[in-house]
Amino acid sequence: MVCGTAFFINFIAIYYHASRAIPFGTMVAVCCICFFVILPLNLVGTILGRNLSGQPNFPCRVNAVPRPIPEKKWFMEPAVIVCLGGILPFGSIFIEMYFIFTSFWAYKIYYVYGFMMLVLVILCIVTVCVTIVCTYFLLNAEDYRWQWTSFLSAASTAVYVYMYSFYYYFFKTK
């Protein structure tokens, strides 16, 4: 979907003779690399990995029937953890997002790239810490389905950034 969108936008740029348009031959070369190098290597790696690994040797006996998850408080539910997990990382980049959106939509020059790098480092650290805490809460509640919840608790920051971009565009720009 991303490649298709990029192709579509690039075709529009080629139609308007934009100077930043990627040449058609380069786009075809990238697609050929994806189809004739990356895809076969993924398939070969999958086949070799499944066939050469042998039988799994778990250190303990695994029960075929999953253990029931005990009742939890409302704030320990995975949906609540996912929704609340992105607030703190988004709060760490909120002000910088304002300046970046101002440079995009208000035609102002953005020139503090060093500070943006520092904010990116802070975002990464805060996201890792929030994910560790959310995973700890889930494991402490004996929820063995913690993998996607821990991933989505960090990924929900992107949803907040997306919602803030709509808010900024519709209410802060003219």
DSSP string, 95-128: HHHHHHHHHHHS------HHHHHHHHHHHHHHHH
| Element spanning 25, H or E | helix 24-33
User: Does residue 130 sit within a domain?
Assistant: yes
- Does residue 46 sit in the same domain as residue 132? no
User: Does residue 131 sit within a domain?
Assistant: yes
User: Does residue 68 sit within a domain?
Assistant: no
- Does residue 80 sit in the same domain as residue 161? yes
Range name among 23-37, 52-66, 106-120, 141-155 with the lowest pLDDT average: 52-66
What burial letters (b/e) apply to 70-100, b meaning 16+ CB within 10 Å?
eeeeeeeebeebbeebbeebbebbeebbebb
- Does residue 11 sit in the same domain as residue 80? no
* Residue with token string 């029937």: 65
Q: What are phi and psi of 54, to 5 degrees?
A: 80, -165
Q: Count other Cβ atoms within 10 Å, centred on residue 129.
A: 12
Higher pLDDT, 75 or 121: 121
Distance between alpha carbon 30 and the CA centroid of its chain, in Å?
Answer: 23
User: Does residue 82 sit within a domain?
Assistant: yes
User: Does residue 139 sit within a domain?
Assistant: yes
- Does residue 96 sit in the same domain as residue 166? yes
Give the residue numbers spanning the domain of 148.
75-173
User: Does residue 69 sit within a domain?
Assistant: no
User: Does residue 89 sit within a domain?
Assistant: yes
Residue pair 136/72 in contact by the 8 Å Cβ criterion: no
- Residue 55 confidence (pLDDT): 78
Residue pair 10/27 in contact by the 8 Å Cβ criterion: yes
39-80 tens-digit pLDDT: 999 999 999 988 887 777 778 887 788 888 888 888 888 899
pTM: 0.68
- Does residue 85 sit in the same domain as residue 135? yes
